[in-house]
Every structure is written in C-alpha cells, then in structure tokens.
Amino acid sequence: MSNEELADRLYDIADMLEIEGVQWEPRAYRTAAMTISSLSTDVSEVYRQGKLTELEGVGKSIAGSIEEYIKTGEIEKWKKLKKKYDIDFSTFRKMRGLGPKRLYVLYKKLGIKNVEDLKNALDKNKIRDLEGFGEKSEEEIKKNLNFLLKSNTGRKLLGSVIEYAYNLRDELMKSGFFEKVEIAGSTRRMKETVGDLDILCVSTNPSKGMDFARNMKEVKNVIVSGETKTSVDLDIGLSCDIRIVKKESFGSAMQYFTGNKDHNVKLRKIAISKGLKLNEYGLFKGKTAIAGASEEGVYKALGLDWMPPELRENMGELEAAANHSLPHLVELSKIKGDLHVHTLDSDGADTLEQMAAAAEKRGLSYIALTNHSRSLKIANGLDEGRFSPLMDKIDKFNSKSRIKVLKGVELEILKDGSLDLPSKLLKSMDFVLGALHQNLKMSRHELTERLLKAINSGLISCVAHPTDRLISQREALDLDFDRIFSACKNNDVLLEIDGFPDRSDLPFDMVKKAKEEKIRFSLGSDSHRLEHLRFLDLAVAIARRGWLEGKDIVNTLGYEDILKLRR
Ligand code: DGT
Ligand code: CA
Ligand code: CA
C-alpha cells in the first residue's frame, strides 16, 4: 500500500461520482487525492498519529475511506462503483481530453474499458459517429492517445520517488544487516524520471540482509532472488534492484551502477587506453585491483577528477574531468529564495503567511509570490484591482517579518505578445514571470514572435517554464530557442528552471545550452501548496545537471540584490 495507490483510488472515486452526476463530492475526493499524493510521509503514519482530518480536503467521510484502505487494502465504495464503471480511469487520467463523462459514453456505447479498446475503436473510425464526438474530436483523441502511448513508458517522476527511495535506504540501514546502503542509478543522477531504483549495499550478513530486503513492507513481488542481487516490484509501481557488493568493490560498483550507460562506456574506453580494465568489481592492472573501494579512487586512478553524479550523462564531463575544468556546481545550501510560489490568492491552497513560514523553516530568506494574472481564469488570475491590496499586504508582512516576500506575478503573455497587466503595475513589482499558458495552437514562427515581444518589452524578469512541456502529458512548445536565448541575453531576461516534477522545465540539456549562451537563471518550486516547496530542491538538481554554478543563478543573491535586478 502506498500514498500513490491510495490517491489513485480516491481519484477513481471522484471520476465515478462525476459520472453519477454527484455535485460536490468529486471535488472533495480530488482535493484529498492531491494532498495525499504530495505528502512526503506515508499516509498510514498520519493515520497512526490520528491526524487524517488535518490533511487538506480530508473530512470525516474521506478519512473513513482512508482508514478502511489502510486496514483492509480496499475501499468498499470504490469496489461498488467500479462494478458499474469498469474503466481504467487511472491510465485515462494521464491522457488529455477525455473526462469521466465522455469516457462513460465510450464505455456504454462501444464497451471501451482501456486504452487498447480505445485504440481499436479509433482504428475502425467508430468514434466519429457517436453523438457529441464527430470527426474532429476523433482526430484529437487519436493524437492524445498516441502521445500517451509513446510517452507512457512506466517511468516515474523523480519527485514522486526520491523521498521514497531515501526511506527504503534508511529502512535497510536500520535492519542492522548492512554496513552501507546507497542509492545509485538514475535516482542518484537526479534524472527527472526514473525507470527503476538501484540500491547498493555492503553487508555483514548477506543472506539475512537479502531476506530482510525481500520482506520489506514496500515489496509486492519478488522477481529475482539471489545472494548478491535481488529484484523486486515495489508498491509504488516501480521495480528495484538491490545488490550486495564487497567493501573493496563498493566504489567501482557505485560508479558502474550510477551510470549513465554512455558515461560508463566512455570511461571503460579511457581505462583500456591506459592498459587497465574497469568493471563493477574494480579497476585492474592485469589481475591486481588498483582501485575500487571508493568512487574517487577509481576516477583518480584514471587521471580524472571525481564528478557529481548529476553530470554523468556523457555531455563533456569526462573531458572536463581530464583537464580539471569541471564546473563548481551550485549547491542547495547557496539558494536563498524560491522565485515561484502561488497562494490562495490565485490557485494555491495556502496563505502567504503559511507559505512564507514554511519557506523560512526550509532555510530560505525570501520567496516571490507569483500568482496568476487576470486572463488565466481557470487559475483565478488576479486583475489590477486584486493585486493592489495584495501588494499592500506584502509590504505590511515584510515590515514585520524576517523572511521577505517579493511582489510578483506569473503573467500571461497574451495572444499578440502583449502583457496581461498594465505596465505601471508591472513596473512596481519585484519579480515578473512571463508565461505562455493559453492560445498555444500557433505556428512556430508566430509563437516565437509572441514570446520575443514579451522578452523585448523590458517588463518581464524571467520566462516561466519556457518549453511548457508536461512530462508524459504534453510536448514542449515548438519555439525557435536560438532566437529566444539571444533575446534573453540581450534584454537581461532570465530563464526559469521550474522544479515542479512533471514540468522540470527548462530541461537540463537546454539549461546547459542556454548557459553556454551566457544566460542567467531563476529557480522556482511552482508551489501551489506547502508540500510543494520541496520541489525547489528538484530545480537545483536540474540546474546541476545543466552544469550551473552559483553565479549563473539569481536565487543565490540576497534579498536586497534580488530587488536591484529590476531597479
Ligand atoms: P533508469 O532505471 O532507466 O531510470 O536508468 P538507470 O540509469 O538507473 O539505468 P539502469 O537501472 O538500467 O542501470 C543502472 C546503471 O547501470 C546505468 O545507469 C549504467 C549501468 N548499466 C546498465 N546497463 C549497462 C550496460 O549495458 N553497460 C554499461 N557500461 N553500464 C550499464
Ligand atoms: Ca535504474
Ligand atoms: Ca536497474
């Protein structure tokens, strides 16, 4: 049982109640589901502390369902509804354009239960004839389904597995059977999505250690069971390779299983060129191991500086390590503020005071309040009349508070490239994120011109989530980034690294390119609730994967200096 499984059940209930035409409940179930999927602790822990109803969106009745699920692994209400609506809602939720009600029509009229059924019906052009669908909508569904099938590779977002992975590590460590337990693989490299978890251990008692690992509460199913390697399916829907290696091989095994593969292949070639042999057991000259206990030792013996895992993507890091020119990557501890935060004032769930207090607790000295602007109606965007009192409120807050709040906005860049709020108001703000959210069906040229106009306006500080991609839901916008980058450079406009897990935007490879164009960056969590503030760490990870140093990122500036950016 996991938070995610439970959240899925709750989302299912919401979808099915919506089909039933129930008024308020679907919304309540969705809010509860969202809260639970973004919790950083196990929901059964919250239950044990008797604090379920303190969670946002969780009233008595939903708390009852959660308790039932924790105790029995099932929810009677879900089972009952599911008998009536045998539809694979959770997969369809990842696809755009088909809400519960339309899914129900497809189910009732054509017996479509899952994406395979949908694909068959589309192949036979059966959907266009349904009432309320038509040819155009059939095309749209086809497009969205293809995108889902292409991108739904079973990978999970780093943001939804990283804490879980650390917890597994701690759980293994606490068993007492291991001397060392470390996460390797793509999770260690902080890749935005993870295919499976890789854990390396040194054990004082391998057979008991593996036995313990196979019986952890998170394990659903054992795939491979051996003394040195165990593979299991975890309850979050990921598999996990657990390996026990000898102490003297731990460094080389960490190196090998951290990858990525291309980095490893090149590293092995470097070893061969020096007459050495490199594998997961060590670095060998003939039969003698000359390194292996530590990762640093392995790289050093090959004439290379050790490099942070985030860099190991075969993007030039081995060359840089050979001539001692690796970047001094930015560190989380150097980040002084979060430059993308929403509150209740637009579409967030918590207040300014709550967000600021939580950010202060995380060690930050400022946050930028960047609520949406008026045209983004679905996000309750603010017009001038609502921004003014909010800005007064921020002034009052800042006069009494140690952590400071920047007056900001996530500003709609309108269809013609003009801005959604008057210049005078924008000029009085401390941080303006310009964003494309609406009317995106334009040609590459039109869309590029639209964004360039905003960048050239002199009124925006930064381009928010520049590609607008949503991992496995929506492709990146087709923009001429060469022109965008040079306009940003010429106008001193920043590019955002949005750490919200399914955005992770700019993507790290583009970050590296933009840095080479001498552009600076701002990092934001894009928080819509307290639990999201941790996504700033993920923005830092993307920055590191894009080779950024402290000086490349404005969040390393103090509050006073951040204000000067617009003065
Ligand atoms: P993932 O799981 O798809 O998110 O990505 P990784 O990087 O965790 O890949 P995974 O779990 O298949 O393997 C872990 C590491 O093991 C990988 O990063 C590099 C290493 N590795 C796997 N297969 C090979 C291979 O065929 N050759 C070499 N040199 N290394 C490999
Ligand atoms: Ca992996
Ligand atoms: Ca693996």
Which CATH number do you get for residue 37?
1.10.150.110
**Could you say which of 244, 262, 289 is where a domain stops?**
244
**Final residue of a domain: which of 228, 244, 260?**
244
Residue 121 lies in a domain: no
The CA 184 to ligand 2 mean position distance, Å, reads 8
Token reading at 181: 């337990």
As a whole number of angstroms, the distance between CA 454 and CA 456 comes to 5
**What is the distance in A from the centroid of ligand 1 to the CA of 311?**
15
| Count of the separate structural domains present in the chain | 4
- What pLDDT sits at residue 308? 98
> Ligand 2 centroid to 194 CA: how many Å?
6
C-alpha span between 337 and 211 (Å, rounded)? 44
pLDDT of residue 1: 61
Q: Say yes or no: 340 and 421 in one domain.
A: yes
Q: How long is the chain?
A: 567
d(CA 342, CA 429): 15
Question: Is residue 459 classed exposed, middle or buried when 0-12, 13-18 and 19+ CB atoms within 10 A define those classes?
Answer: buried
Tell me the C-alpha distance between 469 and 475, whole Å.
Answer: 5
Is the residue at 94 inside a domain? no
Residues 229, 276: one domain? no
Query: What atom of ligand 1 comes closest to residue 185's alpha carbon?
Result: 8
CA distance 223 to 244: 16
**Structural domain contains residue 184:** yes
Same domain? 395 vs 543: yes
Same domain, 462 and 515: yes
Residues 256 and 226 in one domain: no
Task: Please check whether residue 142 is in contact with residue 124, taking contact to mean a CB–CB distance below 8 angstroms.
Answer: no
How does DSSP assign 180-201, residue by residue?
Answer: EEEE-HHHHTT-SEESEEEEEE
Mapped onto helix, strand or coil, the DSSP state of residue 410 is strand
Q: What value does the CA radius of gyration of the chain take, rounded to a whole number of Å? A: 25
Provide block-wise average pLDDT over 10 residues at a time, the chain (567 residues).
85 97 93 85 89 92 94 92 95 88 95 94 92 91 84 83 96 97 98 97 95 95 89 91 96 97 96 95 96 98 98 98 98 98 95 98 98 94 96 98 98 98 97 96 96 98 97 91 98 98 97 97 97 97 98 98 92
Structural domain containing residue 269: 249-322
CATH number at residue 271: 3.30.210.10
Same domain, 336 and 454: yes
Q: Pocket of ligand 1, candidates 162, 186, 234, 242: which has the most ligand atoms within 8 Å of its Cβ, to mutate?
A: 186
Pairing assessment for the beta strands 494-498 and 521-524 based on DSSP bridges: parallel
263 shares a domain with 229: no
Are residues 420 and 494 located together in one domain of the fold?
yes
Decide: residue 502, CB within 10 A, 0-12 exposed, 13-18 middle, 19+ buried. middle
Residue 367 sits in the same domain as residue 312: no
Ligand 1 test: best mutation among 257, 277, 318, 545, most atoms within 8 Å of CB?
Answer: 257
204 and 259 housed in the same domain: no
CA 356 to chain centre: 22
Could you tell me the CATH number of the domain that includes residue 184?
3.30.460.10
Q: Is 186 in the pocket of ligand 1 (CB under 6 A)?
A: yes
Q: Are residues 341 and 402 in the same domain?
A: yes
Question: Does residue 134 belong to any structural domain of this protein?
Answer: no
The reply to whether 213 falls in a domain is: yes
Q: What is the pLDDT of residue 3?
A: 82
CATH code where residue 367 lies: 3.20.20.140
Token pair 């809602």 in the structure block, residue: 89
Domain final position from 51, 85, 119 = 85
Which residue owns the Cα nearest ligand 1 atom 15?
257
Q: Output the CA 496–ligand 1 centroid distance in Å.
A: 30
Atom of ligand 1 nearest to the CA of 263: 29
Q: Cα-flanking dihedrals φ and ψ of residue 79, to 5°?
A: -60, -45
For ion ligand 3, residues whose CB falls within 5 Å: 196, 198, 241
Residue 51 domain flag: yes
* Pair 399, 495 in one domain: yes
Q: Are 65 and 73 in contact (CB under 8 A)?
A: no
Q: Is residue 205 part of a domain?
A: yes
For residue 242, what are its two tokens?
């657990």
- 410 located within any domain: yes
